[in-house]
Amino acid sequence: MFEEIYREARQRIVGLTMGLSADELARVVPACPEWTVHQLIAHLAGGASDLVNGRMEGAPGTEWTARHVAERENVPADDLLQQWNAAGTRIDAMERIPHQLAFDAITHEADLRAALGRERLPDSVWFPTLVWMVPRVLPGVTFKTDLGVIGDGPATIEAGAFDLWRAFFGRRSRRQMQAWPSSDPALVEKIPFFPTRDTDLVE
């Protein structure tokens, strides 16, 4: 599952970003406000390179990701994409990859699509990962979403499925999550893997 998700995300992102103009590469990614499109590509290439070369110390911390960006600051984006494909070919040959790698790729694909004004990531890509995550992260919660009910716990939260998926990865603010009807407002604090945003993100 995760191997296929990662491979297909890489292929889509390369197609999405190969040949972008300098202005597009310099565009700030709203979901990653400290990064430009170029810097986000550098992170994706760097993460793949680190995995195949055994440089995973500190992953997935901020110093680890910052190194990806710093080491590739002056590398043209199309070269970074070629580097990512080269490392990705080696990753494709692995029997199993960390699920976090697949989550990182599709999360950043969604970030890039929003930044570049492209069509939203198809439900068929991200929704299976949401279904996989919910019982593992919040086993006592039932989420009522526009794409169906996920989970079977006694506590409940009502939210759009895409908003919920993005919230797991810190792409929604606390204010946005607290607006979701729930049996216990404190439940939203348990959703994000990463710190919540200070400002709302609407996609």
Could you report the per-residue pLDDT of 135-160, keeping only the tens digit for each? 999 999 999 999 999 999 999 999 99
The answer to whether the beta carbons of residues 113 and 16 sit under 8 Å apart is yes
Query: 70 falls in which pLDDT band (50, 70, 90)?
Result: confident
Task: Answer yes or no: is pLDDT of 57 > 80.
Answer: no
Tell me what pLDDT residue 30 has: 94
- C-alpha distances (whole Å) from 93 to each of 55, 97, 109 are 18, 10, 22
pLDDT in tens, 125-138: 999 999 999 999 99
Task: Answer yes or no: is pLDDT of 58 > 70.
Answer: no
Tell me what pLDDT residue 195 has: 85
Give the DSSP letter of residue 151.
Answer: -
Cis peptide bond prior to 60, omega within 30° of 0: yes
| Residue-range domain boundaries for the chain | 2-115, 124-190
The whole model's pTM is what? 0.93
d(CA 42, CA 191): 28
